[in-house]
Amino acid sequence: DAKTTQPNSMESNEEEPVHLPCNHSTISGTDYIHWYRQLPSQGPEYVIHGLTSNVNNRMASLAIAEDRKSSTLILHRATLRDAAVYYCILRDANNFNKFYFGSGTKLNVKP
């Protein structure tokens, strides 16, 4: 399975943008890039996903490198409620049942 690499932790100030990086150098052409986050004591929550083009939704933006070997989740204005562990996950279009979490990034947001 293609693996992802994320920093263990990051810190941000409230109301500032946050860029969370993810490396996936062994990504295959059929892998979608998904981001989930897990707030303390809660189940993981979907954030965004993309294949090749950058994506925006109400929660965040996803910037995907041209070679697809890395991506960045962008929170435009971090709030205290965004403090969570963020997971970058590759999901194969040909095998959607594989849905594995790696080691995510713990985001701390300072007031």
Partner 1 sequence: AAGVIQSPRHLIKEKRETATLKCYPIPRHDTVYWYQQGPGQDPQFLISFYEKMQSDKGSIPDRFSAQQFSDYHSELNMSSLELGDSALYFCASSLRGQGNTEAFFGQGTRLTVV
List residues near partner 1 by CB under 8 A.
30-32, 34, 36, 38, 42-46, 49, 51, 85, 87, 91-104
Closest CB 26 distance from partner 1, rounded Å: 16
Alpha carbon 30 to chain centroid, angstroms: 18
Return the C-alpha torsion angle 108, 81, 20, 56, nearest 10: -170
Alpha carbons 15 and 2: distance in angstroms, whole number: 34
Shorter beta-carbon distance to partner 1: residue 12 or 37: 37
Closest CB 3 distance from partner 1, rounded Å: 13
Shorter beta-carbon distance to partner 1: residue 13 or 95: 95
DSSP code of 95? B
Closest CB 60 distance from partner 1, rounded Å: 13
Helix (H, G, I), strand (E, B) or coil at 43: coil
